Structure 1
Amino acid sequence: MGATDKIWNPVQVAEQARNDYASEIFPSRLSIDPSLSLSQMTPLVINLCKDMFKAWSKLDDSCFHIEKISGGITNLLLKVSVKQGNSIDDIITIRLYGPNTEFIIDRHRELQAIKYITAAGFGATWLGIFGNGMVQSFINAYTLTPSDMRDPKLAAKIAKQLRRFHHVEIPGSKEPQLWNDIRKFFEKACNLKFDDTEKQKTYEAISFTELHDEIYKLQLLCDRLKSPVIFAHNDLLSGNIMINHEEDKLYFIDYEYASYNYRGFDIGNHFAEYAGFDCDFSLYPNRNEQFHFFRHYLQPERPQEVPQKDLEALYIEANTYALASHLFWALWGLIQAKMSPIDFDYLGYFFKRYKEYKRQKDQVESLAIS
């Protein structure tokens, strides 16, 4: 980080993070089952809004319009429009946590950080929490696709925004969490039992001794690189990046995995997400594409002046930590295969990520130790 970069200290502006009606928002103990249909969910969402927002408590139910924005492989996002008079007065988003996500997501860590992240100007304004989710302001933007991230102009914007994000200051411990989180995932992943016979058979074919050894060796390799510790997003896939072209604004959203971590991991993990959930790793950015990203990350104002040696060093750093990304999300997939009711082949996802890890590790290791 350059000496002239501004260090964000959101503590001073945290009280201004909410909008005008935020002082009349209350936490709620209510929960909403994300597996319900939208018609079943609607009266529950309206009740939740009235419980949390004092200004809306006496509105007629017809003033509320609820629609699904997205349903990923972890959470469900709802858009709530509130009409008073002849116009839409307020729009908020309600994020419903996926069932059993507490097994993989540290909600305390997320909530501790999110107010400071949004106060620093990232993503939606945090408004409050309820039994199994949170409420935020609505972002008028569209979500990127994996192919969007390959666009050179967007890649440059993402790189510049990521540099800014890495300057956010969050109170508390600044210990990098990567290896702590991987070890926690490993402990949970190696003690699963599936009711489905075929899944159990597939699971039993996994060598956790081998996985344990790979984690140990990779940590030693990564430690050689002395990657700077910054506040990292840790899940910068296309679905967590939004853009409003008219206003020329790029947003990072969803901070469920955000923590202090290694710079190389946040960048390498982002590159791995070019492959999408289908894990088409032929889309992983090549050397030239990565260098383009690095130039705008390292020197946003003068990208063409970045020394070649800095590009080469960050290339090794990011691609080595991309291996850690494969192990992290592979283990995540195993836990989700057992815990999540969402219809997604999490078990298959483990094998795709672990296969790519093994395919890349020898080449990356030779770069890291050269």
Structure 2
Amino acid sequence: MIMPTLTPVQVTLPESKEPTAKNVQDIIATFLTREWPYVDIKALTVTYYKATCTNLHVAVERPPPTSIAATEPLKVFIKFHDSNTEDVKIFKHLLPTEYEEMILCHEYSRFGLGVKVYGFFETQDGTIGRVDEFLDARNMEPEDVENSEIRADIARGLAAFHTMETSLPRNPVVSFYNALMGGLEKYRGMDKLKALGKEGGVNVDNLIHYDLVGKLKRVVEKLKSLSAKEAWCIHDVQYMNVLVKKNPEEGESKITLIDFELVMRNYRAFDIGGHFMQKMFKWFGVENKVADCRKYTEKEKEHFCEEYAQEWNKRTGDSDTGNQIFRESEYGYMLAIAFDLHNMLCFMANEDDKDTLNLLALNKLFHEFLGQYSRLGLENIP
């Protein structure tokens, strides 16, 4: 396997770490050498945004040449990595490094599954990043999964990622749950969190006092009893991390998965159940974090799991059934909720967050956990 190389670039970012137009042109021109070095900087359109709490993304567009046909892309995408992951620091020993995440992107893209990567770079001040193709795409909306073609492509995309061969170390799944349970226990009964809820006008006392660790242990034991299979899970399957292509070519997947900062070994059920759960949330909504749409139906889940099973089997030689994967996903639903609950409680504690919309979403997650736990009869297990 050919490993990606970090190319030094003669760029030092400003103290703010927000690159100038000259910075981004110099980075791009390191990899796209025929036309990008000669573009007038004043003609560049540079758009900055933070897709996550840690990483800056920059879209850069140039005008087409006037005398010849363009031989290089007119628009590219740069991701600058930032290792500040305070909200998931308990998983730091399991998470990929910035360079290892680049390896994942490289391995995913070279099979035609992800965006094309033009190059990986390191600036003079030690910031690393990558230059990608710019997809003519939009972030997925919850309603998109009601389209059977898009839903099937997401299922196949997840199965492809889950079964991907990678050079990352295969940490045992138990390491993830030891870390998660330790983190959840830290916030149980915490007066500060209850006070923040009251200040934000939302009572979260029931969640704060709930024995999530004890319940999570039962969920994990149930998955073990089902011989649930492990995979490279993305863990951040909220819908902003799925791009829906506007004009895919015939036979091409309509979606692309992005953002692999949280990739770890886990039960594949985590991502599948998490995908079903995330349909109810729009984490970047300005008026409501809970999506105004219906939940995933049983029929839609079954279709997703059938498509996933076919792709998984094609890539592994297994003979898993859609029903088998559906059963696993029912418990994975709660695993994903517990992870999100931990991360939101961590953010509350660290940032004194008392945003009412966040608190309402927190309670929504909690009630989803309670409902699923009861529906599957786990409360009756001695």
Give TM-score scaled by structure 2 length. 0.72
Structure 1 residue corresponding to 2:328, chosen from 298, 317, 321? 317
Q: Distance in 2 between matches of 1:72 and 1:259?
A: 18
Residues 97 and 185 of structure 1, relative CA distance in 2, 3 Å threshold: farther
Structure 2 residue corresponding to 1:349, chosen from 350, 361, 370? 361
Residues 367 and 319 of structure 1, relative CA distance in 2, 3 Å threshold: farther
- The amino acid across from 1:293 in the alignment is F
Q: CA deviation at 1:282?
A: 6.9
Q: Which range is displaced more, 53-62 or 154-163?
A: 53-62
Structure 1 residue corresponding to 2:256, chosen from 251, 257, 267? 251
Residues 190 and 289 of structure 1, relative CA distance in 2, 3 Å threshold: same
Q: CA deviation at 1:180?
A: 4.3
Q: Which residue in the other structure is 1:135 paired with? A: 130
What secondary structure is seen at the aligned counterpart in 1 of 2:212? helix
What secondary structure is seen at the aligned counterpart in 2 of 1:288? helix
- The amino acid across from 2:20 in the alignment is L
- Are 1:222 and 2:218 counterparts? no
5+ long unaligned stretches in structure 2: 90-94, 283-288, 315-319
- Are 1:110 and 2:97 counterparts? no
**Count of aligned pairs between the two proteins:** 340
Q: CA deviation at 1:314?
A: 2.3
Q: Which residue in the other structure is 1:147 paired with? A: 143
Q: Which range is displaced more, 196-205 or 130-139?
A: 196-205
Q: Which range is displaced more, 249-258 or 179-188?
A: 179-188
| Contact map agreement 2:46 2:60 (CA 8 A) in 1 | yes
What secondary structure is seen at the aligned counterpart in 1 of 2:131? strand
| Contact map agreement 1:159 1:297 (CA 8 A) in 2 | yes
Q: Distance in 1 between matches of 2:370 and 2:136?
A: 40
| Contact map agreement 2:189 2:209 (CA 8 A) in 1 | no
Residues 161 and 324 of structure 1, relative CA distance in 2, 3 Å threshold: same
Q: Which residue in the other structure is 1:364 paired with? A: 376
- The amino acid across from 2:58 in the alignment is L
Q: Distance in 1 between matches of 2:104 and 2:178?
A: 18
5+ long unaligned stretches in structure 1: 1-10, 16-21, 35-40, 304-308
Q: Which residue in the other structure is 2:343 paired with? A: 332
Q: CA deviation at 1:191?
A: 10
| Contact map agreement 1:169 1:231 (CA 8 A) in 2 | no
Q: Which residue in the other structure is 1:122 paired with? A: 113
Residues 334 and 124 of structure 1, relative CA distance in 2, 3 Å threshold: same
Residues 222 and 216 of structure 1, relative CA distance in 2, 3 Å threshold: same
- The amino acid across from 1:350 in the alignment is L
Q: What is the 5 A alignment of 1:1-370?
A: 11-12=1-2, 14=3, 26=9, 30=13, 33=16, 44-50=20-26, 53-54=29-30, 55=33, 60-68=40-48, 71=51, 75-83=55-63, 85-86=65-66, 89-90=72-73, 91-95=75-79, 100-104=84-88, 106=95, 108=97, 110-126=101-117, 127-128=119-120, 134-137=129-132, 138-174=134-170, 175-176=172-173, 178-183=176-181, 185-186=183-184, 189=187, 198-199=196-197, 206-207=207-208, 210-244=211-245, 245-247=247-249, 248-249=252-253, 250-277=255-282, 278-280=289-291, 283-299=294-310, 310-339=321-350, 345-365=357-377
Q: Which range is displaced more, 53-62 or 315-324?
A: 53-62
Q: CA deviation at 1:347?
A: 3.9
- The amino acid across from 2:151 in the alignment is A
| Contact map agreement 1:68 1:79 (CA 8 A) in 2 | yes
| Contact map agreement 1:28 1:129 (CA 8 A) in 2 | no
| Contact map agreement 1:330 1:349 (CA 8 A) in 2 | no
Q: Distance in 2 between matches of 1:46 and 1:344?
A: 41
